């Protein structure tokens, strides 16, 4: 069982928006503004899409956005495209003992 | 080009040992915390261990604590993970990853990942 809880799957049609939730506790997601999101295509390494809850690294389309409320973070993908079909993982810094936790991952299907 | 290249993964018997390596290039290796993350077949990502840029601080997941040691060699720009007393549940692709920001042990994100190296534990 992963430390952060994500839905196992979500889906949407091209052009639509989808939101993936990531629920933790006050010791991780709720306690720090260090939530990050990763995209992973099959057989590939993860790619950083969002860091510090809302920030996008250079090269990540602005269709990807992040937010947080209390112990739940969210990744929203607007204007879905076929290449967005992948697994998405959230992660949070969790202090000097637990350190880093990941969610179980969400499989996004573009219909 | 900023790059991480892992090596060392192989088939090992339960109870055996293995050392994974991750060679870094294209950035100031000593300025960044480095991390190992693993992914069992068909499963999600699991944080394994992190070492600070200076090497003075190390952190381990409970699942590997006491069995694994993370280290780094600045002369070779290489990160290591020594794994002992391997179990079936340690079988996974092991990725090394670079911390996004320099000079801090707080992980705000991992911006560079290697391609991964596969560890298989079986008799």
- Could you report the per-residue pLDDT of A10-39, keeping only the tens digit for each? 999 999 999 999 999 999 999 999 999 999
CA separation for the pair B29, B75 (Å, rounded):
10
**Helices assigned H by DSSP within chain A:** 95-98
pLDDT tens per residue, range B8-60 = 999 999 999 999 999 999 999 999 999 999 999 999 999 999 999 999 999 99
Tell me which residues of chain B, numbers 49 to 108, contact chain A at a CB-CB cutoff of 8 Å.
Answer: 50, 59, 61, 95, 97, 100, 106-108
Q: B38 to chain A: which residues are within 8 Å by CB?
A: none
pLDDT tens per residue, range A2-12 = 689 999 999 99
Q: B45 to chain A: which residues are within 8 Å by CB?
A: 38, 40, 46, 89, 91, 102, 105
Closest CA to B92 of B51, B70, B63: B63
């Amino acid at each position: 069982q992963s430390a952060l809880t994500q839905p196992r799957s979500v889906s949407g049609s091209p052009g639509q928006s989808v939101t993936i939730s990531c629920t933790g506790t006050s010791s991780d997601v709720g306690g720090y503004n260090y939530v990050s999101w990763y995209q992973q295509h099959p057989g590939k390494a993860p790619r950083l899409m969002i860091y510090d809850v809302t920030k996008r690294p250079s090269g990540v389309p602005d269709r990807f956005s992040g937010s947080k409320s209390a112990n739940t973070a969210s990744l929203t993908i607007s204007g879905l495209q076929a290449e967005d079909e992948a697994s998405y993982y959230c992660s949070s810094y969790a202090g000097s003992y637990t350190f880093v936790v990941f969610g179980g991952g969400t499989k996004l299907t573009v219909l | 080009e900023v790059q991480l290249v892992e090596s060392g993964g192989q088939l090992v018997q339960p109870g055996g040992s293995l050392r994974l390596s991750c060679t870094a290039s294209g950035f100031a290796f000593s300025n960044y915390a480095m991390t190992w993350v693993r992914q069992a077949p068909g499963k999600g990502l699991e944080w394994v261990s992190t070492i600070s840029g200076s090497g003075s601080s190390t952190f381990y997941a409970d699942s590997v604590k006491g069995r694994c040691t993370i280290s780094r060699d600045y002369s070779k720009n290489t990160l290591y993970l020594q794994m002992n007393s391997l179990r079936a549940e340690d079988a996974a692709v092991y990725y090394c990853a670079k911390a996004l920001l320099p000079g801090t042990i707080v992980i705000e994100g991992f911006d560079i990942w290697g391609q991964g190296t596969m560890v298989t534990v079986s008799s």
